[in-house]
Chains A and B, each alone.
Chain A
Amino acid sequence: MQLPSYPLPDARGRYGDFGGRYVPETLIPALEELTEAYLHYKQDPRFLAEYAYYLREYVGRPSPLYFAENLTRHLGGAKIYLKREDLNHTGAHKINNTLGQALLCKRMGKKRVIAETGAGQHGVSVATVAALMGLECVVYQGAEDVRRQALNVFRMKLLGAEVRPVESGTKTLKDATNEAIRDWVTNVRDSFYIIGSVVGPHPYPMMARDFQSVVGEEIKAQLLEKEGRESPDAVIACVGGGSNAIGVFAPFAYQEHRPRLIGVEAAGHGAASGLHALSIGAGRKGVLHGAMMYLLYDDDGQIRPAHSVSAGLDYPGVGPEHSYYAEAGLAEYVGITDEEALEGFRLLCRLEGIIPALESAHAIAYAAKLAPEMEPEQVIVINLSGRGDKDVVEVMRIMEGGAA
């Protein structure tokens, strides 16, 4: 296999105005070293062979591109395919990236990995690869999330990771990320920070994108086999930080005939309510966690907490490459409310017998709006980024009015 080469970022880690390295000076040499190591190993046949081996034998790739016939018939428009990232080991797309970064960590001779996590999906994924590779693992999680996600906390502990609750700020993902960066600043010489999305300072957004691009590349090959063409008419993916979306957008974004690329942000209680995660839809250019990106903040630049029913989308920023796509018009970004996402969740359960992650349910919900407006010979691919087992308790609580 090969890792892709895209025209962006430039040598300074920029996607137009976005990206860069806005971090304390202590980290700059480590980021330079990491960039150099990554660019070296992405050309190294043995590194690539090892990555391909684990993707196939451990993650279970390629994931199926499943024709959702019932959903297609129900909606009465374009043909809908689901890219089944929910069937990966650990139940989501996250592991494509964590596996790549853990292999890189080993090559760089580091013995300890640090990660941040919100609901715990990325944390579980990092704890998993750390167990596999024999690495010491520390996961920072907001104290509020530790309380709400007891099962994932226990999973991480089973896998041998240490989970450190973060009591500062909003006690959620944003603050867990601050704390992970602080740990990295302190232990930069012997630790590797595995960031969970296409955010953070260069080269993280680039690395995470490259490792996630396997998803989009598989779609091209699978669609060629099933439909006789590489490109669908529309690709839909949910966007928090944006790693699953970039994995299915980047392989199409820079080609001449682009499908519609549609990123679905969490509109929470609606744009007007102020309780949402519409970083592109309602944010402005700003700097958080080392990169310039679209971001939610007040008139004084203080970061505003995001809100979504889905913990994985509950982040006040969005990766620099998405920020660039939005500004350059390479992709469109729309919002789906909590309520609409829950409807999408139910729809996929009932019609296809698949319980999606609440994150992915946002993409389903938008496809349900779009498909009926398209022609039957047109094709939509939805990135079904994760499975919903983790969400059933929360959904039960909502559906049964707080009974859980």
Chain B
Amino acid sequence: MTTREAFAQARAQGRAALIPYVMAGYPSRGADLELVKQVLPYADLLEVGLPYSDPLGDGPVIQRASEQALQQGIRVADVAAFVQEIRALTDKPLFLMTYLNPVLAVGPERFFSMFKEAGVNGLILPDLPPDEDPGLVALAQGVGLETTFLLAPTSTEARIRTVAPYCTGFVYAVSVTGVTGARDRLPEGLPELVGRIRRVTQAPVAIGFGISNRTTAQQAAQAADGAVVASALIRAHEEGRGLAEVLREVRAGLEGAAGPVH
């Protein structure tokens, strides 16, 4: 299934797409796949995290999870194997989320090919504004990966015009001025930000950062085509709650609040 098909299918069912996040190696090697199995029934697309030592765009929950995963000794090659295992379970689009340095360390061409072959559809690198290295973005697209970049409430019109054309997967609209982490409510300016993005691109827009419950999911769905749920899932696991509980609530918020189809 392609990324566009996944968004369109959710829309056809009258809801915004749900994009859960799982991290390779969290809570441990092997048990990570158990979490995948819990989230897959609710997922339209899936975001897969490759843990990094210095995740400066992430809040405390994902930081802790990254440390825990790295302490298990997880390597880049293990993450590719993990993606293969997920791919054997589903044909839903998979987006790999990590930071730039692991890509540079492995070698961009080798890194991109490795994950393309493992079954990833696209790539999210939160510390790479695409115009910093258009050659690198072209390389990823050249091996057949979609690329997704972030836009934020602070983004100017000029930044939106610069970044949006690089988003061949979807646009990742950051809901809050801040780092990742669950919030009770999202800021009011969300529809305005998404509106500014839609004036520039036809690509689907997903909201990320802060989505944790029915209210935040509703806010995301009223503005955009999809919602990423990350920290709230890891926190649920830390607290010994089922991931399904969070996902059912978020899904309820995403239903019946459909914005325009793209």
Q: Which residues of A contact B (CB under 8 A)?
A: 20-30, 168-169, 174-175, 178, 181-182, 185-189, 284-290, 295, 297-303
With A178-B56, A289-B56: A25-B104 Cβ-Cβ less than 8 Å: no
Inter-subunit contact A300/B105 (CB<8 Å): yes
Check B174 against A300 for contact (C-beta < 8 Å): no
B32 at the A interface (CB under 8 A): no
Chain B positions within 8 Å of A285 at CB level: 104
Query: When chains A and B are docked, how far (Å) is the Cα of A28 from the Cα of B174?
Result: 14
B13-54 to A contact mask, C-beta < 8 Å, 1/0? 000000000000000000000000000000000000000111
Decide: A301 and B128 in contact? CB cutoff 8 A. Answer: no
The closest CB in chain B to the CB of A182 belongs to B179
Chain A residues in 8 Å Cβ range of B54: 169, 174-175, 178, 288-289, 303
Q: Provide the residues of chain A in CB contact with B63, threshold 8 Å.
A: 168-169
The CA of A297 and the CA of B105, in the complex, are separated in Å by: 8
A residues in contact with B64, CB < 8 Å: 168
- Enumerate chain A residues within 8 angstroms of B155, measured Cβ to Cβ: 25-26, 28-29
Contact A301/B129 with A29-B156, A185-B179, A289-B56 known, Cβ cut-off 8 Å = no
Q: Quick check: B159 and A300 within 8 Å, CB to CB?
A: no
Q: A23-B129, A26-B152, A299-B105 are in contact. List 13 more A-B contacts (CB 8 A).
A: A24-B126, A25-B152, A25-B159, A25-B163, A28-B129, A29-B156, A168-B67, A185-B57, A287-B99, A287-B104, A300-B106, A301-B76, A301-B102
Residue of B nearest to A31 (CB): B129
Main secondary structure of the interface of B (DSSP, over half): loop
> What's the least CB distance linking B69 to chain A, in Å?
11
**Could you say which residues of chain B place their CB within 8 Å of the CB of A186?**
177-179
Nearest CB in chain B: distance from A298 CB, A: 7
User: Do A297 and B101 have beta carbons less than 8 Å apart?
Assistant: yes
Q: Counting CB contacts under 8 A, is B138 at the interface?
A: no
Is the CB–CB distance between B132 and A21 below 8 Å? yes
Among B57, B99, B150, B151, the most chain A Cβ lie within 10 Å of the Cβ of B57
B150: A residues at CB distance < 8 A: 24-26
CB neighbours of A187 from chain B (8 A):
177
Q: List 22 A-B pairs, Cβ < 8 Å.
A: A22-B127, A24-B127, A24-B174, A25-B155, A25-B174, A26-B152, A26-B177, A27-B154, A29-B155, A169-B63, A178-B54, A178-B55, A178-B56, A182-B57, A189-B177, A287-B99, A287-B127, A297-B101, A299-B105, A301-B99, A301-B102, A301-B104
- A298 and B177: CB pair below 8 A? no
CB < 8 Å: which of A23, A168, A182, A286 contacts B105?
Answer: A286
- In order of increasing CB-CB distance, the 3 nearest A-B pairs are A301-B105, A301-B102, A26-B152
Q: How far is the CB of A214 from chain B (nearest CB, A)?
A: 31
Per the 8 Å Cβ criterion, residues 51-98 of B in contact with A are 52-57, 59-60, 63-64, 67, 70, 75-76
Expressed in whole angstroms, the minimum distance between the Cβ of A31 and any Cβ of chain B is: 10
Does B149 count as interface, using CB distance less than 8 angstroms? Answer: yes
Residues of A within 8 A of B56 (CB): 23-24, 178, 181-182, 289
- Say yes or no: A22 contacts B132, CB within 8 Å: yes
Q: Is B12 an interface residue (CB 8 A)?
A: no
Give the residues from 203 to 223 in chain B that come closer than 8 angstroms, CB to CB, to chain A. Answer: none
Residue of A nearest to B60 (CB): A168
Distance to closest chain B CB from A124 (angstroms) = 24
Q: Do the beta carbons of B106 and A22 come within 8 Å of each other?
A: no
Which residues of chain B are near A168, meaning CB under 8 Å? 60, 63-64, 67
Q: How far is the CA of A189 from the CA of B102 in the complex (A)?
A: 31
Interface string of B129-172 (1 = CB under 8 A from A): 10011000000000000000111111110010001000000000
A272 to chain B, nearest CB (A): 21
Do the beta carbons of B128 and A22 come within 8 Å of each other? yes
In the complex, B246 has a CB within 8 A of chain A: no
Nearest Cβ on chain B to A28's Cβ, whole angstroms:
6
A residues within 8 A CB of B200? none
Please report the C-alpha to C-alpha distance between residue A273 and residue B101 in the assembled complex, in whole angstroms. 24
Minimum CB–CB distance for A144 against chain B, Å: 15
